[in-house]
Amino acid sequence: MPTFGARSEQNLKGVHPDLIRVLRRAITKFDFTVICGVRTDAEQRALYAQGRTKPGPKVTWTLNSRHKINARTGFGHAVDCVPHPLDWNDSKAFDALAKAILTAAHDEGVKLTWGADWDRDGKPRERGETDSPHFELAP
């Protein structure tokens, strides 16, 4: 049975147990890596600066990311995941990954929001959503 590698396991530290449970179920059906879990305030500020006051493309639009530790729960509520093999331009691979994760979430009774379908209507990228690696616990 497929399992996470060391990088993914490290990136799951501090992530909400419900989200971890979903991802552990999904990895048995689809091969992927968790490239980001919890972020510190400093990490989020640095990402926010990218494309604004620092060089590089914009990669986030908020300082109040759900990757940061939630004061109420004590966990991060978001992860970024990429399919294997990784091709950043292969939206079909990201769609397949999303299907595996969202199916696992449904099976586990956990509501998630995917960064390519913020309104959760099943129509990815319809409004220009571009955060295909991002999954978060629905508020």
pLDDT higher than threshold 80 for residue 133 = yes
Q: What is the pLDDT of residue 73?
A: 96
| pLDDT tens-digit series, residues 5-50 | 999 999 999 999 999 999 999 999 999 999 999 999 999 999 999 9
| pLDDT tens-digit series, residues 79-124 | 999 999 999 999 999 999 999 999 999 999 999 999 999 999 999 9
Q: Specify the long-range contacts of residues 83-88, CB closer than 8 Å, at least 24 apart.
A: 83/30, 83/31, 83/32, 84/31, 84/32, 84/33, 86/33
CA distances from 41 to 62, 76, 110 (A): 11, 12, 26
Question: pTM (2 decimals)?
Answer: 0.94
Domains, the chain: 6-137 (3.30.1380.10)
CB burial of residue 25 (10 Å; 0-12, 13-18, 19+): middle
Of 65, 90, 64, nearest in space to 80 by CA: 65
pLDDT higher than threshold 80 for residue 1 = no
